[in-house]
Structure 1
């Protein structure tokens, strides 16, 4: 069944399963069981064997009863999407938090399977009302990740009837670009308009780096900032330092890294943004049409990474 077909027959997040959305079909074992019963009935009628007829009819009555219990097992079940996970990068696994509830708090759903086809399935032997769980999916690409349709399935009580349904979600998860470790150099951008509003702006300026002094090298400083002349003079490892005013105008740009491949540039800039935020360094950001004024901190990082995650090369 295609994704669109599944979504058409699926319940929405938080919606309870009803008879219109619970589907009951015999599985492979159930089909063999039915065929065996039919053969036994034919044998009993042909040879007028009442014992065989009784066993066959009793077995069919058990099968019909299991259909009812399979329906009752899923009736009233609802699955809701919990808060969105943060800081998901392309190439990582995303853990989708789910909340399973039932209209009847005294009813437990038994032998429940949750699956998406994009990660390992979950088997919950006994699901009480208010149960928390999570599914795992892979995120190969940056951008918005659409949560796949979840298939809900149970073989309770006898493993002969497969009760199943589908649940879809409207929520999207933002996936940041995959960071690639690299060396980078902040740029002193001349002529960049300073604005309090972060956004996308076209610019054709070129940067050059200016320093206001030197400071002793500390682990974590970029290798590109090392003043090799000072090292040659025997003064130890010194790195270029920028004054507070200069730091206000320092930008991370595509000239800050050494790469000409588009997706690799995105990944390297993601690493640089994360590293600068970890070191609590104030910086601005410029990449093609993207312009974000200088700032620092986690919110500044998220604004930049969101722009990079959603940036489309085909629009250039």
Structure 2
């Protein structure tokens, strides 16, 4: 209950935005775990100095208080004034990590030291059991931390956010903290980003997909046709006016003999077969499994460079989304459409 109230209070003081500047309003500071022992030491020296009237013990107490005050100021200064901007959020399949690219900037002349960046998120036990980045392993709360030993001007960092289901993913709050220089105090701040991530279904392999990979013309499925061509030697494509410098072997001498002028013959080879990935044709019985099979087909056809089209159940309301394309970039666009399917 207390943690929920604190989370709401922190969120009110830091509105959602893709860029934020840390200042007095959203930077907090308190004793670290090690600093709690230091606070106990302050109490013991003060009580002992007062009870026994020992000026040396009281002098030690005031010295430790001065160290604490200096540490308080320096730790707060290393976090306050930082500027954080969200640059990019990748898409990922369900169960994998979405990577968030951030730009961290400091306008201070003095370097900021020992800064840590991590996304705080609650993850399931299944997600915790998966393998993660070996260089930045997650802790028991599901955080993956990136450390910056020193920051002078600006730096680009990438942080993972774990996923477990398809759809829109609201980015968890970003925690920025530092315990420099003595580790007595911990200064931290939370950044809430407005942008969301999209998670597409985990690809599900199926045998029916083999009908979409035609190696030659005889294996082409019904309804598929060559739609893209490149300059070649096999199929006649068109006649164009002769341009000086072109090979004489390509001139149509029959047209020259008939007095129709010099024309150049152009040939083309087919390079792609248009395929249709239709939601209704997927062999799975459940909605999410059908989407997962469409994701598998899109990735395969994207790697092969085969032109294809993806038809989803909600495409009747947005027919402009059903277009032909090819390559991995078009496949990623199709995966984004799958992530947005209700």
Q: Deviations over 1:166-218 (max 9, x none)?
A: 11111122222211122235xxxxxxxxxxxxxxxxxxxxxxxxxxxxxxxxx
Asked if 1:284 corresponds to 2:294, the answer is no
2:283 is aligned to 258
Asked if 1:301 corresponds to 2:301, the answer is no
Q: Structure 1: which 5+ residue stretches go unaligned?
A: 186-221, 227-237
Q: Distance in 2 between matches of 1:243 and 1:29?
A: 70
**DSSP 3-state at the match of 1:264:** helix
1:257 CA displacement: 3.0
Asked if 1:117 corresponds to 2:120, the answer is yes
1:79 is aligned to 84
Q: Distance in 1 between matches of 2:211 and 2:41?
A: 76
Q: CA distance change for structure 1 residues 84 and 116 in 2, over 3 Å: closer, same or farther?
A: closer
**DSSP 3-state at the match of 1:295:** coil
Q: Deviations over 1:249-274 (max 9, x none)?
A: 85322353321021111101111122
Q: Distance in 2 between matches of 1:145 and 1:30?
A: 36
Q: CA distance change for structure 1 residues 224 and 66 in 2, over 3 Å: closer, same or farther?
A: closer
1:108 is aligned to 111
1:7 is aligned to 11
Output the TM-score relative to the length of structure 1.
0.74
Asked if 1:94 corresponds to 2:98, the answer is yes
2:179 is aligned to 155
Preserved contact between residue 155 and residue 163 of structure 1 (Cα < 8 Å)? yes
1:303 CA displacement: 4.5
2:201 is aligned to 177
Asked if 1:24 corresponds to 2:29, the answer is yes
Q: CA distance change for structure 1 residues 163 and 269 in 2, over 3 Å: closer, same or farther?
A: same
Q: CA distance change for structure 1 residues 25 and 249 in 2, over 3 Å: closer, same or farther?
A: closer
1:57 CA displacement: 1.2
2:340 is aligned to 310
Q: Deviations over 1:98-155 (max 9, x none)?
A: 1110132x23211111122344112222122211111111122222222211011111
Q: Structure 2: which 5+ residue stretches go unaligned?
A: 122-142, 228-271
Could you tell which deviates more after superposition, 88-97 or 282-291? 282-291
Q: Deviations over 1:28-50 (max 9, x none)?
A: 32222122222212212222211
Q: Distance in 2 between matches of 1:6 and 1:159?
A: 23
**DSSP 3-state at the match of 2:21:** coil
Q: Distance in 2 between matches of 1:225 and 1:302?
A: 19
1:280 CA displacement: 2.9
**DSSP 3-state at the match of 2:180:** coil
Output the TM-score relative to the length of structure 2.
0.69
Q: Distance in 1 between matches of 2:162 and 2:312?
A: 28
How large is the RMSD of aligned CA atoms in angstroms? Answer: 2.8
Preserved contact between residue 153 and residue 165 of structure 1 (Cα < 8 Å)? yes
Q: How many residues align?
A: 264
Q: Distance in 2 between matches of 1:180 and 1:15?
A: 40
Partner of residue 74 from structure 2, selected from 58, 69, 86? 69
Q: CA distance change for structure 1 residues 171 and 310 in 2, over 3 Å: closer, same or farther?
A: same
1:300 CA displacement: 4.5
Q: Distance in 2 between matches of 1:69 and 1:175?
A: 41
